[in-house]
A and B are shown apart, each in its own frame.
Chain A
Amino acid sequence: EAGVTQFPSHSVIEKGQTVTLRCDPISGHDNLYWYRRVMGKEIKFLLHFVKESKQDESGMPNNRFLAERTGGTYSTLKVQPAELEDSGVYFCASSQVTSGRGEQFFGPGTRLTVL
């Protein structure tokens, strides 16, 4: 069974440009999470989808970030316009169970560099 996949693996853009990250969760997993690790800091929660609905988006830094999960399958995270401080590794995770009892499976991450 395929794990969580993310695309692209690495993106280098200039400040002010737009970038869209994609996450394909494990098939059948209703729960999808986005996390971000900025250099030197811990992995931080961004938001949580249950199917196509945003369950918790309390970690989204500001309105330059837009996450979608149309149809409840894959998800995209768009950053527009990108700023230097957005550089980091963006992880996606999925789980079958909504509560904390469910194991979250992580993708390999997308490394975003904003110049």
Chain B
Amino acid sequence: QKEVEQDPGPLSVPEGAIVSLNCTYSNSAFQYFMWYRQYSRKGPELLMYTYSSGNKEDGRFTAQVDKSSKYISLFIRDSQPSDSATYLCAMITNAGKSTFGDGTTLTVKP
């Protein structure tokens, strides 16, 4: 069983929709939780970074962590065509080693 499972997608939504991306994990040693956005032929770009249960908001993006359920989510409000990309969740132990989900490809249609 993988340590990190990410909802596979792909997702296709109309512009302006709310998008929900989700990951679950099994390793209790994960302390830090990230969401990356990756455009085609580019490296992952950090979007959101959290380390405690609860919500963290940054503009149209909200990251949610529930450590008791080992579940994290990323919500995108008022989605734009420029949000079309692959979204990766990642979890990090205190030692700094990242474990990634498979990624979810999102397409936002104008």
Residues of A within 8 A of B (CB): 4, 31, 33, 35, 41-45, 48, 55-56, 58, 91, 93, 95, 97-109
Specify the chain B residue showing the minimal Cβ separation from A9. B41
Residue in A closest to B43 when the chains form the complex, CB atoms: A106
> What's the nearest-Cβ distance from chain A to residue B1, in Å?
13
Which residue numbers of B lie inside 8 Å of A, CB to CB?
A: 2, 4, 6, 31-32, 36, 41-46, 49, 51, 88, 90, 92-103
Known pairs A45-B97, A58-B97. 12 more at Cβ < 8 A?
A: A4-B43, A42-B2, A42-B100, A43-B90, A43-B100, A48-B97, A102-B96, A104-B96, A104-B98, A106-B45, A109-B42, A109-B43
Task: Give Cα distance in the complex from A42 to B49, angstroms.
Answer: 19
Residue pair B44, A42 in contact (C-beta under 8 Å): no
Residues of A within 8 A of B42 (CB): 108-109
Q: Chain A residues near B92 (CB, 8 Å)? A: 100
Contact of B46 among A44, A103, A109 (CB under 8 A): A103
Residues in B neighbouring A42, C-beta threshold 8 A: 2, 4, 6, 100-103
Chain B residue nearest in CB terms to A92: B43
Q: Give the residue of A48, A102, A106 whose beta carbon is less than 8 angstroms from that of B44.
A: A106
Contacts of B31 in A (CB 8 A): 100
Distance in Å from the Cβ of B33 to the closest Cβ of chain A? 10
Whether A56 touches B95, Cβ cut-off 8 Å, given contacts A4-B43, A108-B43, is yes
Which single residue of chain B is at the shortest CB-CB distance from A58?
B97
Whether A91 lies near B44 (C-beta < 8 A) is yes
Q: B102 is contacted by which of A41, A107, A109 (Cβ under 8 Å)?
A: A41
Which residues of A lie under 8 Å from residue B102 when comparing CB positions?
41-42
Q: Which residue of A lies closest to B103 (CB)?
A: A42
- Enumerate chain B residues within 8 angstroms of A97, measured Cβ to Cβ: 96
